[in-house]
Amino acid sequence: MKITRIAAYAVALPLHEGRYAWSGGKSVSVFDSTIVRVETDTGLVGHGEVCPLGPVYLPAYAAGVRAGLAELAPALLGHDPTQLGPLNMLMDRTLKGHPYVKSPVDMACWDLLGQAAGQPVSALLGGCHGAAVALYRAVSQEPPAVMAERVVGYRAEGYRKFQLKVGADPEEDVARIRAVAQVLERGDVLVADANTGWLTHQALRVVRAVADLDIYIEQPCATYEECLTVRRHTDHPFVLDESVQDLAAVVRAWADRAMDVVNVKISKVGGLTKARLVRDVCAELGIAMTIEDSWGGDITTAAIAHLAHSTPEALRFSATDFNSYVTVRTADGAPQRSDGTMAASPAPGLGVTPRPEVLGEPVLDVP
Ligand code: MG
């Protein structure tokens, strides 16, 4: 099989709630997602998606995806998309860094591999564990009472895991955590995610002030070293996210006993191939994982479902159904949330069929 054409489409994804806000006053109201289409000489076509959480979350931004793809795509024409090892080496030789640019290409190539093999991507990633994957719901940063009210609503939709966006004023963050903790029921999981928003002295005040609560603390500070300081002063289970961008960071954090859970975002590490490697190493080391991405719609959600569903249940802390947060359906066949869970499609490949009328004309077309 040979790649004959790579096209990219820009899709705007507004949010049902109108706005998503996190630490430092950052927010997004319409996500700028890029869907990549990889055509082959066999007639098979694969799709991938990448959607940065705006330009100020990770070192990734939507226009950068398209500029990077224009650089990368011509070098990939004529190569076999099902040979994912060589293909990833070729991408890394052609464009240094910029893992988020490579992620949708790699994802589309897994889609092609699955279609060619007649197998769902989850089977190629190791096979499905259990019937479904439990999801978390991100809770946009609002005043404490609003966040508590939202959590009650999300519980009614079936979610049992809640990731509170904190990382603002420490006293108000303590109020946010306490307000939400009061509405939880037995079996619920609460994560306070500061998204790098606290300095260490602020984080230390917060973890001490909520020491009596059964909660997780996620990425309190900007750097790994600051997070490690906080980690060493709290007995709350600890999650790292923004600080862990590759396998080397996982290994370092494991050696330092710096985390109990890590967030594996597909585009942060450069696609499903590298996310699978991180996932398998974490599973062997006993590090639980949230399997997700920076954001996205139906295709990203499908890829998350395949990676999450093929992760052993004991190591699967949670996953995300981003397609239920946004108002636009970009593909048919994507997982749909049911009682706070989702399942990978049993159809070959990612199991998604993009809607041409939503994708529109390509913003990049490399034949
Ligand atoms: Mg996070």
Confidence grade of residue 51 (pLDDT, cut at 50, 70, 90) = very high
Catalytic residues: 165, 265
Can you tell me the mean pLDDT for 60-75?
97
| Separation CA 12–CA 267 (nearest Å) | 18
pLDDT given for residue 6 in this prediction: 98
Residue 193 alpha carbon to ligand 1 centre in Å: 6
DSSP state of 213: S
pLDDT given for residue 119 in this prediction: 98
Task: Say whether domain 3-118+354-366 belongs to CATH 3.30.390.10.
Answer: yes
Confidence grade of residue 333 (pLDDT, cut at 50, 70, 90) = very high
Q: Which of 51-60, 139-148, 150-159, 328-337 is predicted least confidently?
A: 51-60
Confidence grade of residue 149 (pLDDT, cut at 50, 70, 90) = very high
For the domain spanning 123-350, the CATH number is 3.20.20.120
Q: Which two tokens stand for residue 189?
A: 């999981």
DSSP state of 195: T
| Separation CA 272–CA 300 (nearest Å) | 11
- pTM of this structure: 0.98
| Mean of all residue pLDDT scores within the chain | 97
pLDDT given for residue 2 in this prediction: 98
Residue 254 alpha carbon to ligand 1 centre in Å: 18
Percentage of the chain exceeding pLDDT 90: 100
Residue 163 alpha carbon to ligand 1 centre in Å: 8
Residue 295 alpha carbon to ligand 1 centre in Å: 11
Confidence grade of residue 321 (pLDDT, cut at 50, 70, 90) = very high
Residue 137 alpha carbon to ligand 1 centre in Å: 11
Residue 218 alpha carbon to ligand 1 centre in Å: 6
Provide the terminal-to-terminal Cα distance of the chain, rounded to the nearest Å: 16
Percentage of the chain exceeding pLDDT 70: 100
Residue 181 alpha carbon to ligand 1 centre in Å: 19
| Domain boundaries, given as residue ranges, for the chain | 3-118+354-366, 123-350
Amino acid sitting at position 259 = M
| Separation CA 355–CA 130 (nearest Å) | 30
Residue 9 alpha carbon to ligand 1 centre in Å: 27
DSSP 320-357: --GGGTBS---EES----BTTEE----SSBT--EE-HH
pLDDT given for residue 40 in this prediction: 98
pLDDT given for residue 286 in this prediction: 97
Residue 297 alpha carbon to ligand 1 centre in Å: 18
Q: What Rg do the C-alpha atoms of the chain give, in angstroms? A: 20
DSSP 215-279: -EEE--SSSHHHHHHHHTT--S-EEE-TT--SHHHHHHHHHTT--SEEEEEHHHHTSHHHHHHHH
Residue 114 alpha carbon to ligand 1 centre in Å: 30
Can you tell me the mean pLDDT for 205-222?
98
Q: Are 319 and 301 in contact (CB under 8 A)?
A: no
pLDDT given for residue 175 in this prediction: 98
- Digit-coded pLDDT (tens) for 258-316: 999 999 999 999 999 999 999 999 999 999 999 999 999 999 999 999 999 999 999 99
